[in-house]
Amino acid sequence: MIFNKGFIVILRTILLELTLLNLPTLLSKSINFLSTLLKNLLICLMNKNSQKQYNWKI
């Protein structure tokens, strides 16, 4: 359940960044997007290590 919530947050972040992305702020948006994505992935990995039961279906 925790993984599903984190994964949904990642997908929502990707969609939000893609809709807000434009050329003048491409670099800063890319950096913010990548840092947010990595942070969310790390949270999911830490949850995976602490809890071994997952439902990978969304």
Closest to 38 measured CA to CA, from 8, 4, 10:
10
Q: Domain residue spans in the chain?
A: 2-50
Q: Residues 5, 32: contact at Cβ < 8 Å?
A: no
pLDDT at 30: 77
Per-residue pLDDT tens over the stretch 5-51: 778 887 888 777 776 665 556 677 778 888 888 888 888 888 776 66
CA–CA distance, 7 with 58 (Å, rounded to integer): 9
- Per-residue b/e over 11-46, b at no fewer than 16 CB within 10 Å? eebeeebeeeeeeeeeeebeeebeebeeebeebbee
Q: What is the pTM of this model?
A: 0.40
